[in-house]
Structure 1
Amino acid sequence: MNGRSPIGQTILITGANTGIGRATSEELGRRGARLYLACRSEAKTQPVIDAIRRENEGAHVVFLPLDLGDLDSVRRCAEQFLASGEPLHVLVNNAGLAGQRGATKQGFELAFGTNYLGHFLLTQLLLPRLRASAPARVVHVASDSHYECKNLDWESLARPTRTFMATKEYEISKLCNVLFGAECARRWKGHGVRSYSVDPGTVASDIWRKIPWPIRTVMKRKMISTQEGAHSSLHCATSADVADHDGRYYALSGHDRAPSELAQDPTLARLLWEKSEEWVRAWCDGQPGE
């Protein structure tokens, strides 16, 4: 794969212990990146760290605890990374869940809160370091399932999952990823930080682990590998071909394509950003010492 060399670059990847995130991390480790793997479980992330170190002598790989369904955890993760003093050249907002029902610790719909809102806050907290490290990139892992979402019901985002398979909620969360990627580009223009949304394809990863058997088994038969699914993330994180691109949506092939009509609505993207700021601010206002 053609691209710029990440040797010496510092890259933070969420959900790096499995699936697309693991494949992305291992490939970037081969290319000499300094890696920060932000995941919920250190025990489950350690095998990835060990594998990268075995294959790449002297590799710099650090675990960061992160539960995107808990905004307290998101803030602690950002604070821990910022305290390291490292630059941040690439942030890959990769982690996600599907087929799970419930609510986050702060009461948001589980897929929306984990796949989108947690990443929104993490990105905002790390933005000053990204700007200081420019040129920098943020890669938002979305999905072509966002094409299925026809509207945003704001009230549904702040309550537990309603549908049985959580399919509609997943589609909403991925639409929000694409809207966020485009709005980042509009707001960060001229600050040296580029924003990309990507469709990894339908990947046979652990994201589907809560889908009941045998439905899960049948679904995964037609899915691509995690290595194939990592292609679009790696392309946008490293390729010189997209260095001057901003706010675009990329398919598995690595070529940009038009997202859904709803995802191209700048008014909706701005409103999502503003509501996300309100939700995050409301949480911060209730924190001790805030």
Structure 2
Amino acid sequence: MYLLYTVIASLSFFLVLKWMKRRRYFTELKRLDGKTVLITGGNSGTGKETAVALATRGARVIIACRDPEKAEKAVREIKVQSRSFNVFHMELDLANLRSVSEFCKTFLHKEKSLHILVNNAGMPGILDWTDDGFSTCFGVNHLGHFLLTNLLLPRLKECAPSRVITLTCSSYKYQKLDFQDLNCNLLPFFTYCRSKLANIYFSQELARITEGKGVTSYAADPGFVQSGWTCHYSFLFRMVMQVIMWMFSVPCEIGAQTVVYCAVSDEAAKLSGGYFVDCQPATLRPFARDAGVAKKLWEASERLVKLA
């Protein structure tokens, strides 16, 4: 009898886990032939799976990351999985604003079109600093992408209709921005939460600024995915998180579905400035829908990255 109860309890546990991890799969087969896509951090995780999905649809895909060796390996794997040779990489370090500026100059010189920009690369909350003196999490997750998008925005407008997808996370709801200390260095988790909230405000303000100009903007939440973010932490922490991720997270391929939805779907095209979860629009907390805060963050970010 004890064995029977154990089996029933185990089955119930795994069924609950499966139910918690259920996610939609984007099945629309819209082609992207002739379109150019740029994905930051496209060498691993959700970014890599997004690259595979968009290359499979015929897009010219460029992944941007700071490690050339990892990028070359990822490009080979993406080509095999997507059965496309139209995949390339460029070097970009989002923790260095000079690198971002140089990258944009090179990209605009080499690439004559840009139709989809996926601001995917991200850092977990770690107590570290960028080359420009910003906390790494806020500097990479928000400021690096802020400068990148602004410098590439003229090309996006030229190639309209075009889209900008910025990855965020549901953890945004646990923190609010402090404009007296935007470059915060709080507890790592809180720093991460603020950077993800900044991603949402950025996406909303970008949608407002580009309204009627052929560029649409989306904040995409891939959910809790089995990515490699734990590599920045201790061995013990990684082991514990591997167990937790095995139980509660979803594969990166599934997490990428919402990003692909925002990049491809005709439905999403009508909802610029929206927040998307599980391949559908979702409701944000009221404080994350404050247009005044979004505008204030945009102006503050312009000053921080010295964008004229």
Q: TM-score, normalised by structure 1?
A: 0.91
Do residues 231 (structure 1) and 234 (structure 2) align? no
Report the counterpart of residue 223 of structure 2 in structure 1: 201
Which residue of the other structure, out of 257, 273, 276, is the alignment partner of 2:282?
257
**If you compute each CA radius of gyration, which structure gives the higher value, 1 or 2?**
2
Structure 2 spans left out of the alignment, 5+ residues: 1-26
Shift of 1:56: 5.0
Q: Which region of structure 1 is more displaced relative to structure 2, 54-63 or 106-115?
A: 54-63
User: Is the Cα contact below 8 Å between 1:108 and 1:157 reproduced in 2?
Assistant: no
What SS does the aligned partner of 2:105 have? helix
Structure 1 spans left out of the alignment, 5+ residues: 286-290
Report the counterpart of residue 189 of structure 1 in structure 2: 211
Q: Which region of structure 1 is more displaced relative to structure 2, 230-239 or 59-68?
A: 59-68
CA distance in 1, matches of 2:220, 2:96: 24
CA distance in 2, matches of 1:57, 1:95: 24
Report the counterpart of residue 219 of structure 1 in structure 2: 244
CA distance in 1, matches of 2:50, 2:83: 18
Sort the Cα spacing of 1:58 and 1:17 in 2 relative to 1 into closer, same or farther, 3 A: closer
Sort the Cα spacing of 1:99 and 1:112 in 2 relative to 1 into closer, same or farther, 3 A: closer
CA distance in 2, matches of 1:70, 1:105: 5
User: Is the Cα contact below 8 Å between 1:11 and 1:35 reproduced in 2?
Assistant: yes
Q: CA RMSD in A?
A: 1.6
Do residues 278 (structure 1) and 278 (structure 2) align? no
Shift of 1:8: 1.7
Q: Which has the higher helix share?
A: 2
CA distance in 2, matches of 1:32, 1:172: 36
CA distance in 2, matches of 1:231, 1:196: 14
Q: TM-score, normalised by structure 2?
A: 0.86
The AA in structure 2 aligned to 1:178 is I
Which residue of the other structure, out of 88, 101, 107, is the alignment partner of 2:114?
88
CA distance in 2, matches of 1:176, 1:137: 19
The AA in structure 2 aligned to 1:87 is S
Runs of 4+ in 1 over 3 A off after TM superposition: 54-58
What SS does the aligned partner of 2:113 have? coil
Which residue of the other structure, out of 148, 153, 162, is the alignment partner of 2:186?
162
What SS does the aligned partner of 2:177 have? coil
Do residues 105 (structure 1) and 131 (structure 2) align? yes
CA distance in 2, matches of 1:239, 1:32: 15
What SS does the aligned partner of 1:45 have? helix
CA distance in 2, matches of 1:114, 1:255: 27
Shift of 1:52: 2.7
